Structure 1
Amino acid sequence: MSLPVEPTYLAAPALPDVLPPRKARSRAMRFVRRHPSIVLGGLLLALIVLVAVLAPYLFTMDPTALSPARRTRAPSAQYWFGTDMLGRDIYSRVVYGARISLFVGFAVSAVSSVIGTAIGLCSGFIRALDAVVMRVMDGLMSVPSILLAIAFMALLGASVPNVVITISIAEIPRVARLVRGVVLSLREQPYVEAAVTSGTRTLKIIWRHILPNTLAPIIVQATFVCASAMLTEATLSFIGAGTPPDIPSWGNIMSEGRALWQVKPFIVFFPALFLSITVLAVNMLGDGLRDALDPRLAKRI
């Protein structure tokens, strides 16, 4: 019979887990390597959204405050982006203008996606509505979106809600046609035919079998609609048919500085730069989501 052996050393206490588990780290790094567009585009867009939300706390001043004695001043330590023809601080106007562009982009994307999806689902699944509804959509798509937006703005008047309504009307047919094309292929699937044969109601089939399979292309299309809406809003404001002049937006700022473009290019440069970066971020996010949500492309990555 052996006697118990006294321990000759003491076990050190376990160290706290500072780093995340190896599996979580490797999964995150794998996602970054496989989808760099989603990561980079999402970070850029999140940064711009953060700038817009925190605009009052980012060393800004009243974007509508006039100071004729300080007009068209070049960028300096006091005025980071310079001043415009009325002495307003361009930096403050650009930062606050991000709110208008992001609101219009997100609102148009949401409105056109919801309405376009509803139209596309009904038109693609209910054959009796297809011919009538899609001819109306084709008629709207036959007119260039910018001309259609100008026409509606002339009728409704210049305001931010009217800009959202106008651009949404121009974008709804594109979403509807995309959803209709997906539904036309889904309604021939065996599980849909089995649901129809068993007597399942049409709305239930659309809600449970058709709609979930259209979410991926709808999400991708929504990002492109958001970028297109921002450009359209800037174009309308640039020509004086969009956001009212008393509300700072990137299109308004560029419109006010175009007369001095050759001698004071900074008035147009900074809002154009922010608009370009925002649209680039949204498009990169959309491209990454398209690659991630498409199973055929996902297998290649």
Structure 2
Amino acid sequence: MSASNLPSGIQIPPGLAVATPQPDILSNVKPRRGVIGFLRRYPTIAIGGTLLLIMLIIAVFAPLFWTVDPTALAPARRTREPSAMYWFGTDMLGRDVYSRVLYGARVSLLVGFSVAFFSSIVGLAIGLLSGFNRLADSIIMRIMDGMMSIPSILLAIALMALTRGSVQNVILAITIAEIPRVSRLVRGVVLSLREQPYVEAAVASGTPTISIIFKHILPNTLAPITVQATFICAAAMITEAILSFIGAGTPPIIPSWGNIMAEGRALWQVKPYIVFFPAIFLSITVLAVNLLGDGLRDAIDPRLAKKL
């Protein structure tokens, strides 16, 4: 570069020269911002969220998707094959399988979201209490350990055996079975946060325990508990289907994916579509929730995503 190209007031010392500017090899990368950029960075959230949104639309607006009464009996039209009139065929009582599958999404999604919400709230409270109170920790965690020693499905079956079959009782039974896992997660997070310098500084300054929990501890537990809630939601939908399949869940009069598969298992070899369609919808919904949970985990902790 010649001296004439330099900014005014700058002199080149004797014996030195200024290199000529080189063209940029790589173009400037524009950072991705907004919702579109976030979804492009985490495609699992986009795929899982889209699939789950579709299932929610189907469940909420089921009457608008050319369905009929899912409980209407028509013995003269029983076990009809899938056709233009009956898209998913009919069952052994002549009920439209397509309508029953779409209405069954309401039960599965209601159970999944309700269990994830209530178990997260109760588990969060228990985990916070156990993490900050050693006496409560020694008592509550032993109870949680005892509950976790029993498989969740067996615990849910035992709880359902004490009550009558209904959607509310199914939600209660699965919630009780999932609370220990949430409480153990929150307790572990609280125990690690208690050793952080900012928490120790708050304790040394005389900050009340309640303020420490709500200002320093609780906000840092929301991210892992949100991810855990997605997996609980998926597990709850599977558990509800299992309970209904074995006759320990929702009453047979209520269309749910588990009930539909339970009623069609006797005709599985000759009429497999009765079981096939609700199983496909259940699998897609569980996959969507799991993809959403994986994407949230990667977004919350990108370092963990790189290791995986």
TM over 0.5: yes
Please list, as runs of the form range in 1=range in 2, the aligned pairs for 1:1-301 lying within 5 A after superposition: 27-297=34-304
Letter in 1 for 2:249: G
Letter in 1 for 2:168: P
1:100-121 deviation per Cα after TM superposition (whole angstroms, max 9, x unaligned)? 0000000000000000011011
What residue is the counterpart of 1:12 in the other structure? none
Give unpaired runs (5+ residues) of structure 2. 1-29
SS at match of 1:158: coil
Letter in 1 for 2:66: F
Q: Report the CA distance shift for 1:232/1:28 in structure 2 as closer, same or farther (over 3 A).
A: same
Q: Report the CA distance shift for 1:236/1:300 in structure 2 as closer, same or farther (over 3 A).
A: closer
Letter in 2 for 1:97: G
CA-CA distance at 1:124 after TM superposition? 1.1
Give the distance between the partners of 2:157 and 2:106, measured in 1 at CA.
Answer: 22
Letter in 1 for 2:294: D
Give unpaired runs (5+ residues) of structure 1. 1-22
TM-score (norm 1): 0.90
CA-CA distance at 1:277 after TM superposition? 0.1
Letter in 2 for 1:67: A
Give the distance between the partners of 2:225 and 2:292, measured in 1 at CA.
Answer: 14
Q: Report the CA distance shift for 1:24/1:197 in structure 2 as closer, same or farther (over 3 A).
A: closer
Give the distance between the partners of 1:28 and 1:100, measured in 2 at CA.
Answer: 31
SS at match of 2:162: helix
Contact 2:78-2:94 at 8 Å conserved across structures = yes
CA-CA distance at 1:163 after TM superposition? 0.3
Aligned residues: 279
Give the distance between the partners of 2:39 and 2:230, measured in 1 at CA.
Answer: 20
Give the distance between the partners of 1:26 and 1:111, measured in 2 at CA.
Answer: 34
Contact 2:265-2:275 at 8 Å conserved across structures = yes
